[in-house]
Amino acid sequence: MLTNQHTIKKSVSYSGVGLHTGNKTKITFKPAPIDNGIVFKRVDIPDSPQVLADVDHVLDISRGTTIGIGDVKIHTVEHVLAAISGLEIDNIFCEVDGNEPPVGDGSALPFVEILLKAGLEEQHAAKDILNIDKTIAYSDPEKGIDIVVFPSDEFRITFMVDYKNPALGTQYTSMYSLHEEFATEFAAARTFCFLHEVEELWKAGLIKGGALDNAVVIIDREMDDAELTELRKLFGIGEKVTLSPNGILNGKELRYPNEPVRHKALDLIGDLALLGVPLKAHVIAARSGHQANAELVKLIRKEYKKKLIKSKFKAAQTKGVFLDSEAITKILPHRYPFLLVDRIVDLVPQEYVIGIKNVTMNEPFFQGHFPGKPIMPGVLILEAMAQVGGVLLLNEEMDPEKKLVMFTGINNVRFRKPVVPGDTLRFEVEMGSLRRSICKMYGRAFVEDDLVCEAELMAAMLEKE
């Protein structure tokens, strides 16, 4: 894997028709600066609006990957993304004169060839590589989809599909080195579909640019001559259409014996580019498609954001600790004797946080609450819960030290059991809603497995004066 960031040396273009729209279109690749990422531009629209290629901008994944912002959309970007990611290009502008890149021959090869023609240029900045250090899994039992991501010293893919069709059956492929194998062993694998899907897709307003030279059509049902003639008319095919013995429409030869599963791996590489950072892991997938790939990227992205937070606040790499006490003081303004969070053990941005407060006899409030019967005041349990929630709110701020999180309301408070010296409080706070600077959170406090307090918290983020 290349260790420094890369872009391309010069601008290059590729023209054709869009797979689903059938519109004439052109994509122009241009060099981009360090840390730019993969950015698409709709140059056919005034002001050429830009869309960063990441999972937050995915709008649709039903028959391909569509990204966009509002009404600005770019359809079927997965093959372009696969070519860029497969060649380990980090920073690039993709200017599309239309709402969809050209389909080419249905593979990533045309984009790979044009990008190699432009040449790759090393940039003077290290890649931000996400090293997976724990197993991440996505599963959809109803569709029989399983994807598991394991730690690995290099990016690898293992993919398996099993279709109830003699022309395909069960297929398997592995890629052990993106750098050495992608361009020669995977980029040329073409998209495929089943014969019964063709008419359905056309009636749904899709594959208007589809043709026998940009897709492999698998025969999965019999068609008489009248139906084949209708198929020719439907797609404006001049050549004769035949149901060939090899199970592929018109007897088209495969580029690889297992070309369909290699194309599924290619799609996966393109969808993983939506993570926004190169991945060092072994991805094992069974029967996955764009929707499952996008869900997997969301799971991996959570881990990436967590690593960014730990790096940002220079948290100690201690097992079982996400943010230590020193990192917490970089986020919260509270100090002794009112800092009531000792460590954060887990945090998923904008979702939930888990924090710990060790309750000792040395707490100053035990002197008067109560002499001879020390019990932690309920209001301080709530305060500690709110501080844990404050970490969830403030961790994504560029300058958290310039912000304050203040209570605006507390509802449905319940105290279940007293908290005494020697207890370890575990706070689990979930984000309910976040609108501008106003947040609603749901918090629970536990001592071991016993629920001791729960509440709904409302808070506002304010600028320090």
Catalytic positions: 290, 369
- For 220, other C-beta atoms within 10 Å of its C-beta total 17
Q: Is the peptide bond before 337 cis (omega within 30 degrees of 0)?
A: yes
Please measure the distance between the N-terminal and C-terminal CA atoms of the chain and give it in whole angstroms: 48
Among the listed residues 291, 350, 309, the one whose alpha carbon sits nearest the alpha carbon of residue 138: 291
- Is-contact 249 195, C-beta < 8 A? yes
d(Cα 112, Cα 183) in Å, to the nearest integer?
7
d(Cα 22, Cα 252) in Å, to the nearest integer?
22
- Pairing state between β 156-162 and 38-42: unpaired
**List of E strands, 4-91:** 4-8, 12-17, 24-31, 38-42, 50-52, 58-60, 66-69, 72-74
- Is-contact 237 231, C-beta < 8 A? yes
Query: Of all helices (H) and strands (E), which one includes residue 150?
Result: strand 145-151
Among the listed residues 143, 137, 173, the one whose alpha carbon sits nearest the alpha carbon of residue 287: 143
DSSP assignment of 359-400 equals --TT-GGGGTS-TTS----HHHHHHHHHHHHHHHHHTT-SSG
CA angle 64, 69, 75 (to 5 degrees): 25
Residue type, 341: V
Residues constituting the chain:
465
